[in-house]
């Protein structure tokens, strides 16, 4: 069972994880691992503006998984978000990606009993590396791998896009959209209509997009948050540094260009705007890796359309995130800081649509 004196590296009790909760978690893990479990360490991982991620180190005393394991416990946020998958759905998406050969952390166990931690959670393998975007794009340690990293990320996205509607483990995603572009426009327009404040620049962006929406080139599994900051890089481990793709809570059926544009959108270059592929390289190696694995050609006009949608989308998400803080439901300096992002997105929408 859990040992309370080993329960934290940064004070899990300060985050509401009591010795009793640790005991319940250890019992859950013991049943899942089919052997006695000791929790050696549990500590909150900083970052992740929606769900909570915890570093979890355990020792399994016997059975098929006997030994020490470095894991991540991913806990649902205090406030459910309509646009985010449940942990059970995210677990299923991770499993589908893992089985398809995508570089993701191996999903191990799903906890849906609220009697364990009060909220649903999943447990997956912990991979080495950093996901901090500003470090990946700026730190000199990563300079030697950035070109190869961009190409590898294109390859991994190609693998993701080989997962198609009809996958037996993803029926909860519903039917594939007939027109992903029109569906996206309608979704974000409804989100803006529900906001108490007017956002005319974002409305302008949606109207521009509505008049230039591309025809669907196919429907695939979209990660929908495929960007710098959501993958792990360890510059010392391999030629390209990539160790895993993270954060699958928005995944769904959509146009492949949506993911390509999201990765290249200016808002995810972390200030290194001249490297248009995620702040790490030019687009060419990223596109090259994607073409090689996916077998798809890339339409620049469709990418441009989805980049406009990307900045509208991030502005809408930022508005919702800030509301979590302003409403008092989840006071957070990080969520409050996200409230500064929408004007940046509006400026980029104006630039991309030629309105400046």
Q: Please report the pLDDT score of residue 16 as a whole number.
A: 56
Determine what percent of the chain is predicted with pLDDT higher than 70.
92
Average pLDDT, the chain: 91
8-state DSSP, 143 = G
Query: How confident is the model at residue 328, as a pLDDT?
Result: 74
Displacement of CA 293 from its chain's centroid (Å)? 21
* 76, 119 Cβ separation under 8 angstroms: yes
Tell me the average pLDDT across 8-19. Answer: 58
pLDDT band, very low/low/confident/very high, at 333 (cuts 50, 70, 90): confident
pLDDT at 138 over 80: yes
Between helix 341-352 and helix 300-326 the angle, nearest 10°, is 160
Going by C-alpha positions, the residue among 126, 112, 114 that lies closest to residue 40 is 126
* pLDDT for the residue 49: 53
pLDDT at res. 166:
95
Domains present along the chain, CATH in parentheses: 4-125 (3.30.200.20), 133-352 (3.90.1200.10)
Q: Does the structure show a pLDDT above 80 at 305? A: yes
Q: How far is CA 222 from the centre of its chain?
A: 11
Per residue in 58-91, pLDDT tens? Answer: 999 999 999 999 999 999 876 555 567 999 999 9
C-alpha span between 354 and 152 (Å, rounded) = 32
Distance, CA of 91 to CA of 97 (rounded, Å): 10
Over range 116-140, report the average pLDDT: 96
Q: Is the pLDDT of residue 325 over 90?
A: no
Look at the block and give the residue holding tokens 């200016």: 266
Q: Does residue 1 carry a pLDDT above 50?
A: no
From CA 353, how far away is CA 311, in angstroms rounded?
A: 11
Is 80 exceeded by the pLDDT of residue 352?
Answer: yes
Cα separation, 342 vs 314, in Å, equals: 8
Model pLDDT, residue 26: 97
Q: Does residue 205 have a pLDDT over 70?
A: yes
DSSP assignments along 318-331, one per residue: HHHHHHHHHTSSS-
Measured from the Cβ of residue 158, the count of other Cβ atoms closer than 10 Å reads 20
Return the CA Rg of the chain: 21
Please give the structure tokens belonging to residue 231. 């993958």
pTM for the model stands at: 0.90
For 173-182, the pLDDT digits (tens) are 999 999 999 9
What three-state secondary structure class fits 253? strand
Alpha carbon distance 231, 222 (integer Å): 15
Strand pairing class (231-233; 242-245): antiparallel
Angle at 207 between CA 307 and CA 272, to 5 degrees: 25
Look at residue 12 in the predicted model and tell me its pLDDT: 53
Separation between Cα atoms, residue 266 and residue 254, nearest integer Å: 21
Residue 238 has pLDDT above 80, yes or no: no
Examine the pLDDT at 323 and tell me if it is beyond 50: yes
d(CA 246, CA 238): 18
| Phi/psi at 58 (5° precision) | -130, 160
Query: Do the Cβ atoms of 172 and 92 come closer than 8 Å?
Result: yes
Largest CA distance in the chain: 65
């Amino acid at each position: 069972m859990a040992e309370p004196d080993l329960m934290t590296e940064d004070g899990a009790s300060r985050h509401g994880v009591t010795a009793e909760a640790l005991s319940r978690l250890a019992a859950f893990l013991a049943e899942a691992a089919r052997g006695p479990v000791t929790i050696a360490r549990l500590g909150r991982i900083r970052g992740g503006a929606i769900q909570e991620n915890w570093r979890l180190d355990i020792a399994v005393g016997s059975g098929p998984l006997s030994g020490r394991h470095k894991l991540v416990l991913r806990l649902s946020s205090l406030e459910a978000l309509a646009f985010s998958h449940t942990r059970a759905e995210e677990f299923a998406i991770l499993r589908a990606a893992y089985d398809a050969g995508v570089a993701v952390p191996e999903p191990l166990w799903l906890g849906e009993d609220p009697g364990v931690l009060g909220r649903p959670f999943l447990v997956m393998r912990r991979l080495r590396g950093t996901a901090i975007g500003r470090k990946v794009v700026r730190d000199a340690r990563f300079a030697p791998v950035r070109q190869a990293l961009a190409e590898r990320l294109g390859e991994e996205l190609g693998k993701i896009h080989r997962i198609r509607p009809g996958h037996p483990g993803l029926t909860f995603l519903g039917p594939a959209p007939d027109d992903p572009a029109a569906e996206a426009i309608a979704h974000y327009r409804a989100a803006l209509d529900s906001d108490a404040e007017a956002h005319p620049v974002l409305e302008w962006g949606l109207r521009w997009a509505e008049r230039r929406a591309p025809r669907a080139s196919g429907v695939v599994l979209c990660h929908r948050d495929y960007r710098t900051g959501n993958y792990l890089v360890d510059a010392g481990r391999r030629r390209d540094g990539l160790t895993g793709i993270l954060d699958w809570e928005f995944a769904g059926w959509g146009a492949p260009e949506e993911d390509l544009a999201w990765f290249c959108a200016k808002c995810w270059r972390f200030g290194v705007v001249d490297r248009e592929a995620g702040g790490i390289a030019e687009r060419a190696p990223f596109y090259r890796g994607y073409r090689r694995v996916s077998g798809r050609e890339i339409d620049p006009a469709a990418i441009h359309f989805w980049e406009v949608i990307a900045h509208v989308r991030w502005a809408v998400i930022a508005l919702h995130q800030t509301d979590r803080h302003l409403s008092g439901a989840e006071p957070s300096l990080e969520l409050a800081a996200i409230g500064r992002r929408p004007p940046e997105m509006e400026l980029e929408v104006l630039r991309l649509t030629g309105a400046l």
